[in-house]
Amino acid sequence: MSLRFPLLLVVDDDRILCRTLTDNLRADCYEVAVAHSAREALSVLETRLPSLAVVDLMLPDMHGFELCRKMKKSLDLPIIMLTAVDIEDSRVNGLELYAEDYVVKPFSYRELSARIGRVLKRTAGLLPEAAAMRLGPDLALDLAKRIAVVNGREVRLSPVESRLLSSLARRCNQVVSRTVLMDEVWPDGDGDEGRLWVSIKRLRTKLGDDTARPRYIVTERWQIPFDIHRKR
């Protein structure tokens, strides 16, 4: 089941601009989450998984570049930067380091809408294929909300745990190498084996998975040492 209404995160301290932009985006069948500061934006990412973020560079509590760096560290999120300063070096740095596109204020909604559509189309492979995944009779994953449902009990997942479970679920009954998991869970290269095993342990605990008799995440020690797959 594909996401019908992509969720866009708009980060800008200009409340009038945000209100106008939200109205236009919703009219174009997007779901919109709004943050007026970097702190609010990072808070949104704790509970929701946007398809794209539109980020103003001049925020009251943090430079937009730093916010984009933090966002990219948590998940592989396509970003369009907004700025009132049309400086070539700033545009180049933003595009090389963090963003898929760059829009200079003032801008027309039609221009931004076209850029959003183009970025979503170009980055479709980075976005979740489904809003919900049924992994068995007693386990489901809602990627949009970062929630696992275990025996009818909702379990909130961190961005890392959500990506980890999604990566394993897409390869049911297959051995998944540590390298593949680290590449998908930490696409910015910040992952290592220590962080991977800590994340697996936390995920197992949240799912109620008994390491002695696991139902969901199995460690294959003899075929490929310490690799992971999901067991039926």
User: pLDDT for 53-73, tens place per residue?
Assistant: 999 989 999 988 899 888 887
Written as six digits, the tokens of 218 are 């199995």
Same fold, 7-126 and 132-230: no
Residue 169 φ/ψ, nearest 5 degrees: -65, -35
Separation CA 135–CA 215 (nearest Å)? 11
pLDDT higher at 38 or 86: 38
Domain extents in the chain: 7-126, 132-230
Separation CA 151–CA 170 (nearest Å)? 20
Confidence of residue 221 (pLDDT cuts 50, 70, 90): low
pLDDT at 227: 41
Query: Within the chain, how many helices (H) and strands (E) appear?
Result: 8, 11
Separation CA 128–CA 97 (nearest Å)? 23
Of the spans 27-41, 145-159, 173-187, 188-202, which averages the highest pLDDT? 27-41
Confidence of residue 188 (pLDDT cuts 50, 70, 90): low
Residue partners of 112: CB distance under 8 A and separation at least 6 = 21, 54, 80, 103
For CA atoms 200, 202, 203, 209, the dihedral sign is: positive
The pTM score is 0.54
Q: CB atoms < 10 A from the CB of 16, how many?
A: 8
Q: Are 24 and 48 in contact (CB under 8 A)?
A: no
User: pLDDT for 139-152, tens place per residue?
Assistant: 887 766 778 888 88
Written as six digits, the tokens of 231 are 């067991």
Would you list the DSSP string of 32-80? EEEESSHHHHHHHHTT---SEEEEESB-SSSBHHHHHHHHHHHS---EE
Quick one: how far is CA 70 from the chain centroid? 12
The topology under which CATH files domain 132-230 is Arc Repressor Mutant, subunit A (1.10.10)
Q: Which CATH superfamily is domain 7-126 in?
A: Response regulator (3.40.50.2300)
User: pLDDT for 84-139, tens place per residue?
Assistant: 766 555 555 655 667 888 888 889 998 998 899 888 877 764 444 445 666 667 88
* Mean pLDDT, rounded, for 10-34: 91
